[in-house]
């Protein structure tokens, strides 16, 4: 069975994060998730139960598992954060030095401070139930082909971990009318996607996406922290990158 690998070249130590959280703590969270995922799959396979990707066949169930586990790992890695003790509370991670939250035992239905996490295979259009104003960390992942033999299946791996402070204007809201039972959702729009893609904490350059002009900017940004990408694509190396490498 293949083990997921954290690649240092994909890590951006200068990414911006709030509440004293550091990119290094996100790195620890990714590695912690990889270790947990690897241990879990080895146990499942040893007991002839398959692997987590075959147990949780629906993409939304798998995304929920990955997102919850990654959120827990980030809280474990950072003294600045604690998991919101309210089931389905907002945001997912709360700052530990917030007195009002501490008085509630960090069980917050809807707070104004903290980090909400999202997890998806999609390259954009991530959703929430409302137009939320908060810091978001998005874990984007890839998984192996479910038709492959479980021993040969490529492991789950993160291809982008993005962070941004989103406002209500960074969302579009889709309500419902009449007798519709459609789930009310809000989707991150172009402005919010640009904020997230402009601040990668971890990023495989093969998964950089966006419209032509912004995509070129994201690649220039990536070249500033990924020396292999910079060597392979000198067209994206800017004067700022060259100065940073001296």
pLDDT tens, position by position, for the chain (246 residues)? 899 999 999 999 999 999 999 999 999 999 999 999 999 999 999 999 999 999 997 778 999 999 999 999 999 999 999 999 999 999 999 999 999 999 999 999 999 999 999 999 998 878 877 778 999 999 999 999 988 999 999 999 999 999 999 999 999 876 544 444 445 688 999 999 999 999 999 999 999 999 889 999 999 999 999 999 999 999 999 876 544 443
Give the Cα separation of 170 and 190 in Å (integer): 7
User: Is 129 in the same domain as 240?
Assistant: no
What's the N-to-C CA distance of the chain in angstroms? 41
> Residue 232 sits in which domain range?
210-246
Q: How many domains does the chain have?
A: 2
Residue 57 lies in a domain: yes
Q: In what order do the strands lie in the sheet with 171-174?
A: 127-128, 185-188, 171-174
Report yes or no: 228 and 204 within 8 Å, Cβ to Cβ: no
Return the CATH number at 195: 3.40.600
User: Is 150 in the same domain as 214?
Assistant: no
User: Is 162 in the same domain as 228?
Assistant: no
User: Is residue 67 classed as helix, strand or coil in its secondary structure?
Assistant: helix
Q: How far is CA 82 from CA 86, 99, 119, 171, in A?
A: 12, 13, 18, 26
User: Is 118 in the same domain as 226?
Assistant: no
pTM (2 d.p.): 0.91
Give the Cα separation of 69 and 213 in Å (integer): 35
């Amino acid at each position: 069975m293949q083990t997921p690998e954290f690649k240092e070249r994909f890590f951006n130590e200068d990414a911006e994060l709030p509440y004293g959280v550091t990119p290094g703590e996100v790195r620890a969270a990714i590695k912690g998730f990889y270790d947990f995922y690897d241990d879990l799959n080895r146990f499942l396979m040893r007991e002839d139960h398959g692997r987590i990707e075959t147990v949780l066949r629906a993409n939304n169930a798998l995304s929920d598992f990955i997102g919850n586990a990654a959120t827990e790992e980030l809280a474990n890695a950072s003294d600045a954060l604690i998991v919101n003790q309210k089931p389905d509370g907002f945001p997912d991670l709360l700052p530990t030095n917030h007195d009002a939250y501490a008085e509630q035992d960090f069980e917050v239905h809807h707070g104004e401070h903290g980090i909400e996490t999202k997890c998806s295979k999609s390259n954009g259009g991530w959703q929430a139930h409302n137009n939320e104003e908060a810091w978001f960390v998005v874990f984007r992942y890839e998984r192996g082909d479910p038709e492959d033999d479980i021993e040969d299946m490529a492991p789950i791996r993160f291809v982008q971990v993005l962070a941004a402070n989103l406002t209500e204007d960074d969302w579009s809201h889709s309500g419902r009318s009449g007798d519709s039972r459609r789930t009310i959702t809000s989707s991150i729009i172009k402005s919010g996607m640009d904020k997230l893609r402009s601040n990668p904490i971890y990023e495989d350059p093969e998964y950089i996406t966006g419209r032509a002009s912004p995509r070129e900017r994201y690649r220039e940004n990536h070249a500033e922290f990924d020396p292999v990408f910079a060597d392979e694509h000198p067209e994206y190396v800017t004067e700022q990158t060259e100065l940073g490498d001296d």
